[in-house]
Amino acid sequence: MGKGGSRLGAGRPGWRGKTEHCRSLDVRRFASANMLRTGMWSWQWRDAVTGEEVASIGVIGQTYSVVLAYTAGGEAIRTRVPIVRTDCGFGGSRPWFACPSCSRRVALLFLRSRHFACRHCHRLSYGSQAADLCGRAWRRQRKIEARLGPDWRRPPHMHLKTYERLLKAILACERQRDAWLSGAVARLMGGLEALQKRFPNLIGVSD
Ligand SMILES: [Zn+2]
């Protein structure tokens, strides 16, 4: 993730982009971007497909914590997140976030309702994260499709390279949704089977 962290430059830290759909921070990425030290940094989220920056926050590195600085809904928010380290042998250590809400030691913090906290505090399940991904893939695809002509045709002014890139991005969105849907269907079928085993006489599935 070479591009994730960068020195806080001219840009004012704050939210750019409209949605705050479950953005996450990974302490391992902070570590590999060398942001767990004193300094002012910024963190950007990029669109997985187009690589465009969709949001960013300011990160103020302190000795045993980071301060997340951002604005959400017009409100300037500062959240201090302690960094704890566990010994991982060979003289090295592994960093963790201490969740600002419950102090649990976690690798990931998620943004929901303007605040960063761990998965447990936000009551996020992996399923809802997957559903989120699916919804995002749809929205991303609709945005890209708006730039193309009917039936994904190339608008006359568009460079061929741009067009090819957008088509690839659309296909990636479709693949992402397919992957989620096949997982969702498998879960549903698994649930039905379990129910049928428990209540063989109650559920009549006919076709
Ligand atoms: Zn928590």
Q: Are strands 5-7 and 39-46 parallel, antiparallel or unpaired?
A: antiparallel
User: What residue ranges do the domains of the chain occupy?
Assistant: 5-117, 126-194
Kindly state the tokens that stand for 47.
């669109």
Q: How confident is the model at residue 52 (pLDDT cuts 50, 70, 90)?
A: confident
Give distance in angstroms: CA of 64 to centre of ligand 1: 18
> What is the average pLDDT across 50-61?
90
Give distance in angstroms: CA of 148 to centre of ligand 1: 43
How many of the other CB atoms lie within 10 Å of CB of 25? 21
Contact 53, 18 (CB under 8 A): no
What is the model's pLDDT at position 184?
67
Give distance in angstroms: CA of 183 to centre of ligand 1: 27
CA distances from 35 to 95, 97, 104, 126 (A): 12, 13, 21, 27
CA distance 65 to 36: 8
H or E element at residue 197: helix 160-198
Strand partners, 199: none
Give distance in angstroms: CA of 79 to centre of ligand 1: 13
Strand partners, 55: 45
CB within 8 Å of 94: residues ≥ 6 apart: 85, 86, 87, 88
Q: What φ, ψ does residue 25 adopt, rounded to 5°?
A: -120, 135
Give distance in angstroms: CA of 122 to centre of ligand 1: 7
Contact 170, 142 (CB under 8 A): no
CB within 8 Å of 167: residues ≥ 6 apart: 152
Kindly state the tokens that stand for 100.
């600002």
Give distance in angstroms: CA of 112 to centre of ligand 1: 12
Give distance in angstroms: CA of 19 to centre of ligand 1: 22
> What is the average pLDDT across 139-145?
86
CA distance 46 to 43: 10
Give distance in angstroms: CA of 14 to centre of ligand 1: 23
Q: What is the pLDDT of residues 171-198, one digit of tens each?
A: 888 877 777 766 666 666 666 666 667 6
Q: How confident is the model at residue 2 (pLDDT cuts 50, 70, 90)?
A: very low
Helix, coil or strand: residue 58: strand
